[in-house]
Structure formats: C-alpha cells, structure tokens
Structure 1
Amino acid sequence: MRIDGRRNDQGRHIKITRHYTKYAEGSVLIETGDTKVICTASVEDRVPPFLKGKNEGWITCEYNMLPRATQSRKVREISRGKIDGRNMEIQRLIGRALRSVVDLKALGEKTIWIDCDVIQADGGTRTASISGAFVALVDAVNRLHKRSPFKIYPVRNFVSAVSVGIVNKVKMLDLCYVEDSRAQVDMNIVMTDTGKFIEIQGTGEQYPFSRDDLNELLAMSEKGIKNMIQSQKDSLKMDCLWIGTGESDEKVNNSK
C-alpha cells in the first residue's frame, strides 16, 4: 500500500472550486490530495510587442510557491532578487500547455495572464497548476465570449497533466511528495482530451528505464489525465459546451 492508502494506479482526490477570488476574470482553487494551488486568469486588451498588429492573442504564466507552502519556509523570490530556475521552467511549461489548445488568432489582440500560486505543496504542483489554470482560462474566455461573441471560439480542447513514476521498482500514478522524493524515475505528462500529447518530461533519476517501462507509465498517465479532465468537465458543467466547437455563442445556443 502507498503512504496514503491508494492503489498504484489511483490518483489523489481532486477538488476544483471555481470563482475562488473576487476580481480575476477566472479563478480556481484546485486541490489534488494535499497539494493546493490558486490559479487566476486575467485579461489585458494588449499583446506583447512581438505580436502587435498581427491580430493574434497571447497566453503567459507566472508560477510561485508561498513561503510556507512547504515543510520549511521558502525564501520569496523578491528577497533574492531573481526568479528561481525551477519556477521559470514550470511557468513556461504551463504557458506552453495552455497555448497549445487555444486558437490565438481567434482570441484576438488580448493577453491572458495565468497566475498559479501554490499555497500548499505535496508533490505534483506543476501538473495541478496546468489542470486548474485551464479551468480558470475557460472562465476568462467565456466572460469575453458572452460580452462579445468570438467568430470562432478560441478553446479547442481540454488539457490536463499528471505525474507518474517508479518508486522502489513500483510504477505509481500521481506521486505525493514522499513518493516523488524517493522516485527512481519521475515523469510529468501533459495531454489533451483527444489523447494527444503536449509534453512528456521524463527522467531516470537513479537508473535508466526501458521502453516497456515508458509505455506502461504513459498508459497509467492517460488514465489519470482522463480522470482529471472529467473533474474539469464536472466543475465547468454547462460552461464547457463551446470547447472544441469552433462555433459562436449564438450557434451553440441554437443547437441545444
């Protein structure tokens, strides 16, 4: 049995709370086991200089961990005067994952800022951030869509992520911190609801792993991602009807 009593192929309990904060166009508290992340989506009517005049939008992310999200206090980045390398890697991953399922031309000249703030960390913070940020993003896009319908609805697919690994020669889904810290192989998988991969991050931290190991871990991750996407759909309910339709508000409403 695992430290929290789960089966090896069983993910942690998922809870997604929408509209968690007052001001952001989209805001979510996502909880996967004891990992908790606040994800917000903020809309700006401008784009970075490299996109000006191209009638194309942008999605970017900032990721951070509160000082006492972990067992010992983590110094704030502002106190050190530089961005933590790990944080930079994670926020770029989140941005890539979300941009991959959004038609940026359909979005128009708008920037959606995603902020992921880890308030409690117990492993899988980057994967929880991607999954929660997607729901916040959809809420922000829907607010724009209801105010002024897009000709083409920008969000094309669901996206989610999960961790898998090999711990003491046992393959496991959705590693908590204790498992992750002991893993011989550690992977983070990002996928769409159509089963297509966006990113595969895998490392043999203590020894190489085989193609068979990889295939088994990918199959296990697909199960976890399907479960997370179902949780996203359950959370969004009727507010996810436009995803993947490429249709306007009026057309979707008329098709009900």
Structure 2
Amino acid sequence: MSLDPLSKLMQRYCFAYTATHDFSVADQIMADDYTFYMGEHAFTGREEAYKPAADRQFRAYPGLGFAVHDFFSNGDRCAMYFSEFGHSIQYGADSAWHGVSLYRWNGRLLTECRIEQDYYGRRRQLLSKTPDPIDQPAYAPWTAAVEKADPSSEAAAASWLKDGGLLKSKIGGLDDERVAPSIARVLLLSANTEVLDIMSAGKRVAFQVRVTGEYAGGLAELRGHEGTTAALYATGFADIENGDVCNVKAVTDRYTMERRILASVKK
C-alpha cells in the first residue's frame, strides 16, 4: 500500500531527519519560514530559528533517539505523541521524555509545529541518574487510516478543555505520571483555558492550550510561591467516545512555568 503524502513526509521527518540529526533532510521537508511554537514562544525561520534550537539539543544528547508512540492525520494536518531519549553530556546520565506535537503543511513542506516536551520529567531523571523506561513504539503509525477532520469532535474537546478538564483529568495522562515515583501535577485556582490550536481526524483530537490562574501547588521547586499568577502551556491528544473525552495524553511546560515564576520573583 502507498502511504498518504503527509504521513510519508512525517516518516521522513522522524527517521530520515530527527533520528539521524541530518539537517540536509530538514532542508527538503521544511519551508524556509517554518515556525514552531513552544510555550509562550514562536520561532520563525528554518535556518535562523529552528536549526540552531535543534542543534543545541542534538549536541547536548549526541545520538539522541526518537520513538513514535501515536500518530494521526486528516491529510491536511497531523499530530504525534513521541519520546526522545539519550545520554546527557552535561549530567553524564540517560533519560527519556515524552512530547506532543501538531503540524501543518502546504501540500509539499512542513510549515508549522506546535510542541511541548516534558523537560521537568527529564530533569528528574538526570538528577537522580535513574532513566524512565521507553514506551513501546507504535507498530505502524504511518499506515494508519487518514480520517477527515470532525468539527463535532473538536467542539467536544474544546468545551472540555475550557471547562478545566485537562488539569482535572485522570492521573496518568499528563507528563510522566505513569512512571514517575511521585505525581507532580500543577494546580491552578480560578483557572482559565485558552485553546490556541485544535485539530482532529475523526474522533481523535490534538490540541494546544494556555491555562492561566493562581498557582496553588504541585511542584516541589515552587514551594512558597503559592498565590503567584501563572500560565501553563500544554499540547495533547484526546479521543471522543459518545461525546465524552477519554484517553488523554498531554505534555505540559511545567518546567518552563517554574522558571517563569522564579524569574518574576527575582525582578
């Protein structure tokens, strides 16, 4: 069987480029004005913004590995749940961490990525010198059926997100909760969720959100900073079954949120 064009492009993105660190492939699959969004930042330009950021990660983790655990596409957009893993030169330790990314393309090249990676969980592993296990990769992500976008699925997920569903979701669905020795989920009071991006393929939905509110705990590093205004970004997957949200898998920028709060205190 022949692969859907976007799925085939993503196969190249993952295993001809990301897993090999071959920037010549990036030139072939990314638009010149490729933009990636991570947390509060937007970085535009394959050469001036994306490549330097990727190169820093590749240098910090020589031989950095990559595994795709889940992927879906509607032919125009796609989303991926993945892990990166490797050996940190700085810490002399191994680690594996999850990410969720959403993509756009122009029919030939990738133009946009919205992504979060669990750097908080990665830091825990590096400091403890105890790496998390790597999840099993998907058997055949690129041959999965391509389904049309479903506005009703997107509406159901958006409503759930705006009602605060993400931070109230079942334990085990966010960040490293399935494997970490203790749960470190951000708690925000009077939370407001802004849906920054959302896409679907049938009953599968991927999203990027910004949740703002009053920090009320969850991270040991922020003990004593309760009451601070905070913003938490996240990208994630969810399925819609009988109108309900289930099978949530999301990654938050809790590490960067921590840094933002601590930096604001120093000012």
Which TM class, normalised by the smaller chain length?
under 0.3
More strand by share: 2
Bigger RCO of structures 1 and 2 (CA < 8 A, at least 6 apart): 1
